[in-house]
Amino acid sequence: MPAESSFDAKAFCSSLPSQPGVYRMLNAMAQVIYVGKAIDLRKRVSSYFQKNGLGPRTQLMVSQVTAIETTVTRSEAEALLLENNLIKSLTPRYNILFRDDKSYPYVILSGHRFPRLGFYRGALDKKHHYFGPFPNAGMVRESIQLLQKVFRLRTCEDTVFSNRTRPCLLYQIHRCSGPCVDLISEQTYREDAKDAELFLQGKQTEVLQRIARKMKEAADAQDYERAALFRDQIQSLRKIREKQFVDSGNALDADVIACVAEPNGSGRICVNLAMVRGGRHLGDKSFFPQNAGGYDPPEAVEAFLAQHYLNRSVPSLIIVGEKIRREALQTLLAEQSGQKIIINANPIGNRRVWLNMATENARLALEQMLSRQASQEERLQALQQALDIPGLSRVECFDISHTLGEATIASCVVYDNFSMRSSEYRRYNINGIVPGDDYAAMRDVLSRRYRKIAEGESRLPDLILIDGGKGQVSAAQEVLVELGLNDANLLGVAKGEERKPGLEQLIFPGVENPLQLPKDHPGLHLIQQIRDEAHRFAIYGHRAKLGKSRITSSLEQIEGIGAKRRQSLLARFGGLKGVQKASIEELQQVDGISRAMAEKIYRELH
């Protein structure tokens, strides 16, 4: 039975209507701790305040409730939509939460006169053809490479395509048919694009038949070179079909969703999403929800379906491995997508094979995650003991990167709850300091990072890690003292003798002798992991900034190239890289660029 509170649940529930809707449970600080939906609000909310039948998690949640807010809706489907909008915006602590991943990537076949094959992520435009989505970017790039090899479609941007005077390297290695310089007719190119489109739609048999007819026609016309090209295409396509470990034999689009929970009821759950498009298995992706304690697999799958497909494209068939309440979900997804949606919980044949594969992948992913987490728990516990910081969980690490003071970048990476939190990483451009002054750069980034925390807007991390020695630690300590954050735990990581891993020295502010942990110490391994990630993140940002600044400055330093001509060059070639790649003849075609000026630009940039 939940603990007593000033909230009169009986009186409140009696006032609720027996209609569909959404309810929000609030705690004493007026924070929403749970959002739920109901076909009958009175029955559903009343069930939380019954004497028996509540699990430990629900009892704990209800004991914190001091108020409940409700919204009546016209249907259960409408309640489902509102519920998940609120869950995503409020992230209540007792709702199972699936990370809202960025949009999935597609293969795009543009609607241009000579269609472009490429990688795409974002809102879809009816002018172009899209195929997918794919579970990850690697699968898209692999598909593009296969299509390039077989159909030799262009992948270059329009600015590059419209300004070429000779074929590029892809033409030389037989990955493009050279439409930019009229080495293929528009009709022939469009036939290749159509074959690629059919292949992406899963109509491989039709593609093979089309190419076989063209091969025969070419052979009959004694155009043996062209017939050989078609023969090679057919052989490549057949090899691709042989490599497909799952192929339905028809152009079916489906998502397959399996869920596996840790047997001991610890609350760790993995949901595996496998994508099938055009009858081909494109790969899978595993999700590990937050706040999963107390949820069983059917509840987790229901939550995943609602949260994952909200405002996202949905295939006509969704295969699940759990018996779930499907009616409201099917109605909502059908209204959203404008097509009939079937959620199949009892697949047979190939569909059962897909589900079994997704279930096995979910089980393996959960085992791997648990193994990694056990290792991280051991490392974190060892670090807590070594540094004498009980409860250490969140670490923020800083590094500075530059080349002789040029293009200085500071990175901040975050480790929290046993893993790196890449969505919380930040880079900072460092300006207004003496070039190469790492101490000033460290003061700058820490001041910007922790000013808001000093003003009470957020929480200080349990440990601030600095990639550097005593000088950097002293500079960091000065900033924290100025901000009034004297109680912050600060630690520097200095490279040891010969800069070998395992010889790092840990430097505390105001402490003369550094701490050196043994090479095999799990706590040191965690510090190395976080430090190396901060270094990688800083280097990546610095190189990008350095490359951009050097090309831009190169254009600015060319005598006779003012702002107007520089803008014309960048616009014509689609950016800095395009200008670098342009030939003298291509540069000469830009308004205001003479032959002599084009030669001068070319010399300066090469």
CATH number of the domain residue 437 falls in: 3.30.420.340
* pLDDT at residue 557, as a whole number: 67
Range name among 40-44, 272-276, 367-371, 549-553 with the lowest pLDDT average: 549-553
Whether residues 182 and 210 share a domain: the answer is: yes
When divided into structural domains, the chain yields a total of 5
99 alpha carbon, distance to own chain's centre: 10
Average confidence (pLDDT) over 295-306: 91
Is pLDDT above 90 for 58? no
Q: What is the CA radius of gyration of the chain?
A: 30
Of 41, 62, 90, the domain-final residue: 90
Is pLDDT above 50 for 166? yes
In the Cβ-directed half-sphere of 203, how many Cα atoms lie within 13 Å?
A: 11
Q: Is residue 502 part of a domain?
A: yes
Task: Name residue, tokens 């589900």.
Answer: 355
Whether residues 344 and 422 share a domain: the answer is: no
What's the mean pLDDT when you consider all of the chain?
A: 85
pLDDT digits (tens, 9 = 90+) for 247-271: 444 567 899 999 999 876 667 899 9
Which strands make up the sheet holding 317-320, listed edge to edge?
280-287, 269-277, 254-261, 317-320, 342-344
C-alpha 274/C-alpha 284 separation (Å) is 4
C-alpha 299/C-alpha 253 separation (Å) is 25
Q: Which residue has the higher pLDDT, 575 or 79?
A: 79
C-alpha 326/C-alpha 305 separation (Å) is 10
Average confidence (pLDDT) over 471-484: 92
State the pairing for strand pair 317-320/342-344: parallel
Range name among 25-39, 266-280, 563-577, 584-598 with the lowest pLDDT average: 563-577
- Range list of β-strands (E), 378-528: 395-403, 406-416, 419-420, 426-429, 463-467, 490-494, 505-507
Residue 22: pLDDT band with limits 50, 70, 90:
very high
Is pLDDT above 80 for 238? no
State the pairing for strand pair 67-72/426-429: unpaired
Is pLDDT above 50 for 1? no
* pLDDT at residue 88, as a whole number: 85
Q: Tell me the C-alpha to C-alpha distance, in Å, between residue 28 and each of 5, 49, 330, 512.
A: 10, 18, 37, 47
Q: Is residue 298 part of a domain?
A: no
* pLDDT at residue 11, as a whole number: 87
Whether residues 139 and 37 share a domain: the answer is: no
Residue 199: pLDDT band with limits 50, 70, 90:
confident
Are 51 and 45 contacting, i.e. CB atoms less than 8 angstroms apart? no
pTM of whole model > 0.75? no
142: exposed, middle or buried (C-beta count within 10 Å: 0-12, 13-18, 19+)? middle
- The type of residue at 550 is R
Whether residues 204 and 121 share a domain: the answer is: yes
pLDDT digits (tens, 9 = 90+) for 89-133: 888 999 999 876 667 888 899 988 899 998 888 878 888 988 878
Of 243, 274, 292, the domain-final residue: 243
Are 196 and 146 contacting, i.e. CB atoms less than 8 angstroms apart? no
* Omega cis (within 30) before 133: yes
Is pLDDT above 60 for 279? yes
Q: Is residue 420 part of a domain?
A: yes
Task: Name residue, tokens 């969505």.
Answer: 423
Whether residues 74 and 130 share a domain: the answer is: no
| CA angle in degrees (0–180, nearest 5) for 148-152-154 | 85
Whether residues 72 and 112 share a domain: the answer is: no
pLDDT digits (tens, 9 = 90+) for 10-19: 889 989 999 9
Whether residues 339 and 419 share a domain: the answer is: no
* pLDDT at residue 542, as a whole number: 83
Whether residues 123 and 215 share a domain: the answer is: yes
Task: Name residue, tokens 């922790």.
Answer: 450
CATH code (residue 587): 1.10.150.20
Domain enclosing residue 276, as ranges: 254-282+314-368
Question: Which residues contact residue 151 at a Cβ distance below 8 angstroms, ignoring those fewer than 6 apart?
Answer: 117, 192, 193, 195, 196, 199, 233
* pLDDT at residue 597, as a whole number: 85
* pLDDT at residue 2, as a whole number: 43
* pLDDT at residue 530, as a whole number: 95
Average confidence (pLDDT) over 463-476: 92
Whether residues 482 and 569 share a domain: the answer is: no
* pLDDT at residue 265, as a whole number: 61
Q: Is residue 485 part of a domain?
A: yes
Q: Is residue 295 part of a domain?
A: no
pLDDT digits (tens, 9 = 90+) for 531-571: 999 999 999 888 877 766 555 556 666 777 777 787 777 77
Is pLDDT above 70 for 426? yes
* Whole-number percent of the chain with pLDDT over 70: 92
CATH code (residue 54): 3.40.1440.10
Average confidence (pLDDT) over 234-254: 62
C-alpha 605/C-alpha 602 separation (Å) is 5
Q: Which residue has the higher pLDDT, 246 or 84?
A: 84
Q: Is residue 249 part of a domain?
A: no
Residue 387: pLDDT band with limits 50, 70, 90:
very high
Q: Is residue 409 part of a domain?
A: yes
Whether residues 75 and 138 share a domain: the answer is: no
C-alpha 264/C-alpha 285 separation (Å) is 24
Instruction: Tell me how far apart the terminal alpha carbons of the chain are, to the nearest angstrom.
Output: 77
Whether residues 41 and 129 share a domain: the answer is: no
Q: Residue 420 forms beta bridges with which residues?
A: 415
Q: Among candidates 100, 136, 39, 96, which has minimal Cα distance to 301?
A: 96
Query: Which DSSP helix (H) or strand (E) runs through 57?
Result: helix 56-63
Of 30, 62, 90, the domain-final residue: 90
pLDDT digits (tens, 9 = 90+) for 399-408: 999 887 778 9
Range name among 215-229, 292-306, 404-418 with the lowest pLDDT average: 215-229
Whether residues 406 and 509 share a domain: the answer is: yes
Q: Is residue 388 part of a domain?
A: no
Q: Which long-range contacts (CB under 8 A, 24 or more apart) does 437-441 make?
A: 437/405, 438/400, 438/468, 438/471, 438/472, 439/471, 439/472, 439/474, 439/475, 440/475, 441/400, 441/402, 441/408, 441/410
**Two tokens at 508?**
């505390």
* pLDDT at residue 282, as a whole number: 79
